[in-house]
Structure 1
Amino acid sequence: MKRIHEFGGGLDPFLMLDELRASADDAHIGGVPPHPHRGIQTLTYIIHGGLTHEDHLSHRSTIYPGDAQWMHTGHGMIHSEMPLTDENGLLAFQLWLNLPATEKMSTPTYRDVRHAQMPTLAVDNGQLVALGGQWQTHAGSINGPLDALAGNGGVSHLTLAAKGEIELKIAATTLCAYVFQGALNCGGETASAGELIRFSAGDSLRLTTSEGAQALLLAGEPHHEPIAHYGPFVMNTRAELDQALRDYRDGTFTQSPPTS
């Protein structure tokens, strides 16, 4: 597992990105047994292999290459995640998005999205697949089916062949690309596989590649709120973290909070 995170707010509204890899013959691939979350959303996207999700609300689903799972934890979700390999092994990503203070104690929910539900936009020697948010180029625009990502978030999967390029028309305050195959060029600089790029402000973005590349593109608007983080909980204050721990220990974690 390769972890990239910015719990201090530097990538607001994004908190963490995990890249999960295993070979096809890995006999020791592990999973994550039931555990709690509060105050975040998670988005899991599969390139190779699969992942089975189960939670306390009786959701159970397995996703495969090209599919995604989205979880809005709100005031409390307890779930497990068990990865699977196929002939290509496992390659998957899990993204955490921070919920604004007004939604941290909201009702939890879950959905999965199959690859066939995700629109694809052809670009020069490549394609852009939209998981969530709006993505626009000179060739047109597409909207991903995950339309409730925190911070007006957008996530897409860019694939470029050799000498491919894309010019996005986008003005998101937070705009990033995580390169996981090949190398991307932007503004005279190159990012190789395993590197995350944070782009400066603007209304357009041109990405090119010489030999080919794949990347996750992330766009969103920051909450500009205090971040208090402890393990699977992300709240705004230490007192709220302490309350989450008490709720989990006394068995009331998944109960809806009283209305004022």
Structure 2
Amino acid sequence: MAIRHVKQLIRSHPSADGDGVKIQRVAGFDNPVFSPFLMIDELKSTSADDYIGGFPPHPHRGIETLTYMLNGHFQHKDHMGNVGELRDGGAQWMSAGRGVIHSEMPIMTAGQLHGFQIWINLPAAKKMQPADYADFQPEMITEHALNDNSLIRVIAGDLTIRGTTLTGPLQKTGVATTIADWHASRGEVLTSCLNPDFQALIYVYRGEAEIKGVSIDAGTLAVLDHGEGIEVSAKQDTGLLLLSGLPLNEPVVHYGPFVMNSLEEIEQAITDYQNGQFV
């Protein structure tokens, strides 16, 4: 099996969104090696002042979002009447399609808030489909203990490890994706098969990982080259996200909460929202 190497390392950077929520962000709207992913936001705080304003009602078109919480709750409300609140370890998926207006409110538990929001691009043929939503509480996430010191949680798609295929609860993303979370003690190794046609990204959020001699510190995204699998070593007690998906190879035009294929489509999204056509 051809093991993938690190092609590029990208450090997350401090940013803010919503009502001043502090985040660490890695954005790849203009980077084709990200596709089908667009952005990874990490929310991590022990101070309510960093996120208390949350994300008041705002629109989206043309993307999907996956929110995954390690620690803390996350409340979602949208114009379709969906209301959901995650617990620690749960995930929320939303497909904006042709238009959605939603709000999101992070809530600390036991003095901790730590989670992620991943933006996934929709292919052109699906950007104007109806909006959709689903949430997955922690007990719904597929977990597999590799041993006493290594745990993989599969949120979306399928992941094959040591001949066992693990299927996550989220299977209806607009483009084929696999998203998983690996927790491991120092010295543990994760070896997995991946679809060779899929792009693969590794985001380390705790500790330090290594892929084929390249170290990846916490807060760093590794873009991998093509191959049939990955082999990741934990150099410390480590947590990381594995993101793999089928590249879209389509134009990306991004303006605020809208991601379309042309400037004309962005302008139409703005007009439709202003005219109340998202509800």
Q: Is the shorter-chain TM-score for this pair beyond 0.5, marking a shared fold?
A: yes
Q: TM-score, normalised by structure 2?
A: 0.88
Deviation at 1:253, TM superposition (A): 2.5
Aligned to 1:163, the other structure's residue is in SS state coil
CA RMSD in angstroms comes to 1.4
1:67 aligns with 2:90: yes
1:21 aligned to 44, 47, 51, which one? 44
Hey, what's the Cα distance between the residues in 2 that align with 1:123 and 1:188? Answer: 23
Q: TM-score, structure 1 length as denominator?
A: 0.94
Return the offset for 1:10.
2.9
Runs of 4 or more, structure 1, over 4 Å off, are 24-28
Amino acid at match of 1:110: Y
Amino acid at match of 1:191: I
What is the aligned partner in structure 2 of residue 160 from structure 1?
184
The answer as to 2:134 corresponding to 1:111 is yes
In structure 1, what is the Cα distance between the partners aligned to 2:49 and 2:276?
Answer: 37
Secondary structure in structure 1 of the residue aligned to 2:268: helix
| Correspondence list, 1:82-121, <5 A | 82-121=105-144
Structure 1, 202-211 or 105-114: larger mean CA deviation: 202-211
Structure 2: gaps (5+ residues)? 1-22
Deviation at 1:88, TM superposition (A): 3.7
**Residue among 263, 266, 269 paired with 1:238:** 263
Contact 1:22/1:29 (8 A) holds in 2 = no
**1:146, CA displacement in angstroms?**
0.4
- Aligned pairs for 1:197-208 within 5 A: 197-208=222-233
1:52 aligns with 2:52: no
1:154 Cα deviation after fit? 1.0
Unaligned runs of 5+ in 1: 255-260
| Structure 1 residue 123 corresponds to structure 2 residue 146 | yes
Q: Supply the AA of the counterpart residue of 2:63.
A: I
- Among 12, 25, 37, the residue aligned to 1:3: 25
Whether contact under 8 Å (1:34, 1:78) holds in the other structure is: yes
- Superposition deviation, residue 163 in structure 1: 1.1
SS across alignment from 2:270: helix
Which of 1 and 2 has higher RCO (CA within 8 Å, sep 6+)? Answer: 2
Q: Number of residues paired by the alignment?
A: 254
Aligned residues: percent identity?
35
**What does the per-residue CA deviation read over 1:7-54, in whole Å, with 9 as the maximum and x for residues that have no partner?**
013300000110011215648622011000000000000011111000
